[in-house]
Chains A and B, each alone.
Chain A
């Protein structure tokens, strides 16, 4: 089998996708990053390698997500792309004609508007992470319910309570108040979904024209309560694609296919990467008052990349330069 590999390394999850020449997704893996991007990518690659038939050839590999540069250096990526483009590319393939993409991940949320198959506008959340997956995760933990059950319970709500969604800290005190007033758990959960949707549409979606077909993706799309809250707020049908939680990786793989078609050969280092020894470290450069924090990645004790220096004197020294 010949195919393409896409890796999306986000703050909360790391996803790997392998699709074959015909564009069929053969394997997708969703892992928690747990603050160790390299280990997680290695684990994912090992799992993926073991699950694919022997003799599988990876013709190209793409990375995306906030850890895209790091991962790109480690696996030898052909395409290293930001998550907006990756998500848009994946959605337009899997949901033809899509006009609006709502994406809520672990610590970021974005909206992508497409018209005639081309991205026409996008926005990402700014400094505040209220209304993202991490917050739902945390609240589910506080209420003692597994996050997987969250959506199901929220759907049982009869009259969702009103919760302030502007700030996660205030939303939490609001929820505690509602709990102590005796509101039912499903009503509170549904209220929380409504609040997050309101916050999302007012901040990220501010001024954007959301037209059908609307696709909802990212880890939070697993939450049926959120899907319903979006449908209610938008008064539109909201689709959740079957690979909603690995769409970034799908997009990265698609971009890798295009990159390899253009440049000829892949720079993929092979599944052996999973067993190599990678070390990362950082140091503060004292060359000037900028005091840049320079990150260094080494493979088997050899420095393969550096970044973070504004003047590029460190990154140029190893050749693997990143933006």
Chain B
């Protein structure tokens, strides 16, 4: 029986799942993903996580708990930096050590991912993980190369305008890759951490709702990295967080695009960087005359509040672009 490696459907799963999956499967392991977020998963996460951390990390706890008993290993890399001279939030860094005390937890694959000073360390890390499954270094190297290729394909799909769930469906051949229809009359840029905006449970299906209300949704992941980086460089001082940089870079880019009619920033309760990037984006959106909405997600958020705000926001955007209120 193949070794089962569990991956929590949380945090940077939304960025790197294709890479991780291809790598582990290439080495003969079976990848088991935690179930999509539900009330049950969140409740478990809230119960076992420490109070001080942010909502997304609490949710990640729930996903780790969901995997307990189903897998031989849980892949939970200690993410320190995913780009040179930038950092990932320290709460990510602490996650493997926070979940380690959970009862019944299988061994963690908690290697350090630190690209702050370049990629030298990373090669060592990949080898270390690969060694758990095979002694064949060449096989590890080949699998790694193939995984990076799949990952590149995934990023390209996102840049074509797909959302992560849609891009994964294409990668896994569940749907055909067809040009994306953009039927809405207005386009809204949705900015936020990937694990907030792409998890339909925690954000109460913002993307689905916006689309159902007739708006096209675009996100930071739909942009090429180069675009995001060059726009983010316009800030007087560089932000150290990679994800925050992405949001700011995308915001500054979308503020200049005439086909973008509105901007929504999604923040998670308890997220320090969000409170900072949200404010930065809001100020610039206002100065540019872009309709802007800030949504904060927390475990108590009622659907009614989100629906009212989204509806009112789209009314405002339509009112501005078309000159009338949409009544039906």
A→B interface (CB under 8 Å)? 66, 78-79, 81-85, 89, 118-122, 124, 126-127, 207, 255-256, 258-259, 262-263, 288-291, 310, 323
Contacts and interface: CB of A to CB of B under 8 A. Distances in A.
Nearest to A321: B212
A28 B31 CA distance: 63
Given A122-B316, A289-B40, A290-B38, A323 B307 contact: yes
A310 B117 CA distance: 45
Contact of A118 (B309, B319, B328): B319
Interface residues of B, number: 34
B53 interface: no
A121 B298 contact: no
Contacts of B201: 290, 310
A256 B323 CA distance: 18
A310 B212 CA distance: 14
B188 to A, nearest CB: 15
Contacts of A288: 38
Contacts of A119: 312, 315-316, 319-320
Contacts of B308: 66, 82-84, 124
B221 interface: no
Contacts of A255: 325, 327
5 contacts: A81-B327, A84-B315, A85-B315, A121-B316, A255-B325
B199 interface: no
B174 interface: no
Given A121-B292, A124-B309, A259-B327, A289 B41 contact: yes
B201 to A, nearest CB: 7
Given A66-B304, A126-B296, A79 B327 contact: yes
A262 B327 contact: yes
Contacts of A323: 209, 212, 307, 311
Contacts of A121: 286, 291-292, 316
B311 A81 contact: yes
B205 interface: yes
A89 B296 contact: no
A11 to B, nearest CB: 11
Nearest to B209: A323
A290 B286 CA distance: 38
Interface of B: 35, 38-41, 201, 205, 209, 212, 282, 286, 289, 291-292, 296, 298, 300, 304-305, 307-309, 311-313, 315-316, 319-320, 323-325, 327-328
Which 10 A-B pairs rank lowest in CB-CB distance, beginning with the nearest? A84-B312, A289-B40, A289-B38, A259-B327, A82-B311, A119-B316, A85-B315, A258-B327, A82-B308, A290-B38
A51 B38 CA distance: 50
B306 to A, nearest CB: 10
A127 B300 contact: yes
Contacts of A78: 328
Contacts, number: 84
A289 B39 contact: yes
Contact of A127 (B41, B298, B325, B328): B298
Given A120-B291, A121-B291, A258 B316 contact: no
A207 B38 contact: no
A207 B285 CA distance: 12
Interface centre among B40, B311, B315 (most CB of A within 10 A): B315
A121 B319 CA distance: 12
B291 A85 contact: no
Nearest to A257: B327
A82 B315 contact: yes
Given A79-B328, A259-B327, A120 B39 contact: no
A290 B201 CA distance: 9
B328 A291 contact: no
A82 B324 CA distance: 16
A263 B327 CA distance: 10
A290 B39 contact: yes
Contacts of A85: 311-312, 315-316, 325
A124 B292 CA distance: 13
A84 B325 CA distance: 12
Nearest to B205: A310
Nearest to B307: A323
Contacts of B320: 118-120
B278 to A, nearest CB: 11
Contacts of A82: 307-308, 311-312, 315
Nearest to A256: B327
A81 B328 CA distance: 9
Contact of A89 (B209, B289, B311, B325): B325
Contacts of B291: 120-121
Contacts of A207: 282, 286
A284 B38 CA distance: 14
Contact of A262 (B292, B309, B312, B328): B328
A265 B309 CA distance: 29
Contacts of B315: 81-82, 84-85, 119
Given A119-B312, A121-B291, 5 more contacts: A82-B312, A120-B316, A288-B38, A291-B39, A323-B311
B300 to A, nearest CB: 6
A85 B320 CA distance: 13
Nearest to B289: A120
A293 to B, nearest CB: 10
Nearest to B283: A207
Nearest to A251: B325
Interface centre among B296, B313, B316, B320 (most CB of A within 10 A): B316
A118 B320 CA distance: 6
A262 B327 CA distance: 9
A263 B35 CA distance: 44
A51 to B, nearest CB: 27
